[in-house]
Chains A and B, each alone.
Chain A
Amino acid sequence: GAGVSQSPSNKVTEKGKDVELRCDPISGHTALYWYRQSLGQGLEFLIYFQGNSAPDKSGLPSDRFSAERTGGSVSTLTIQRTQQEDSAVYLCASTLVGSYGYTFGSGTRLTVV
């Protein structure tokens, strides 16, 4: 596609429920990243996918968080048993590996009530 697409744009969920956030990167981009941004804060790295390599999960805050990337394209970030501290904007970015900038999606604003 022309840009990075994320869905849903907004998600309100009850504490304890599971949520799935979707990212559709730019066609041909081999690298995909997930970041979390809390209100007024910087971008916190969560996970990185590159081609068929094992993902770098070093930023996932707990085992309630997981992500997968199917067919080297679409990625899903899953948060199980959501907590109020999970409330944030979840941003996905994709790029060609090397000397290229990242293109970010518009994000999913997650609110846990």
Chain B
Amino acid sequence: QQPVQSPQAVILREGEDAVINCSSSKALYSVHWYRQKHGEAPVFLMILLKGGEQKGHDKISASFNEKKQQSSLYLTASQLSYSGTYFCGTIPIGDNDMRFGAGTRLTVKP
């Protein structure tokens, strides 16, 4: 029931781009993305709903392919502040509780 995230870790230089993927074995109602910095609580980034859509703010965006039960998070022109662990959370159709992927550790270096 837990979604699968890839890659497990990625290291970037400032200004480079990254893609983080999340896939589920179940039909999904929604996909959430969160970022957690070391020693802090996860912070909500965005939610994508059934119906297939793409959302974004600033240089972080995401897509949701409903048919493939997959979502991707796109980080463009990365900044040092983007460093942290990114989690996708999925809510299957008919469920109310969210299960999280194992996380992707993103490190942005100067």
What residues make up the interface of A, taking CB atoms closer than 8 Å to B? 31, 33, 35, 41-43, 45, 48, 50, 56, 58-59, 91, 97, 99-107
Contact = CB atoms under 8 A, between A and B. Distances in A.
Main SS at interface, chain B: strand
Nearest to B105: A40
A16 B101 CA distance: 31
Contact of B47 (A101, A104, A107): A101
B99 to A, nearest CB: 6
Contacts of A43: 42, 87, 89, 100
Nearest to A101: B44
B96 A31 contact: yes
Contacts of A35: 100
Interface of B: 2, 30, 32, 34, 40-47, 49, 87, 89, 96-103
Contacts of B34: 101-102
A42 B100 CA distance: 7
B87 A105 contact: no
27 contacts: A33-B97, A33-B98, A42-B101, A42-B103, A43-B87, A43-B89, A43-B100, A45-B97, A50-B96, A56-B96, A59-B97, A91-B41, A91-B42, A97-B96, A99-B30, A99-B47, A101-B44, A101-B45, A101-B46, A101-B47, A102-B32, A102-B44, A102-B89, A103-B44, A104-B42, A106-B40, A106-B41
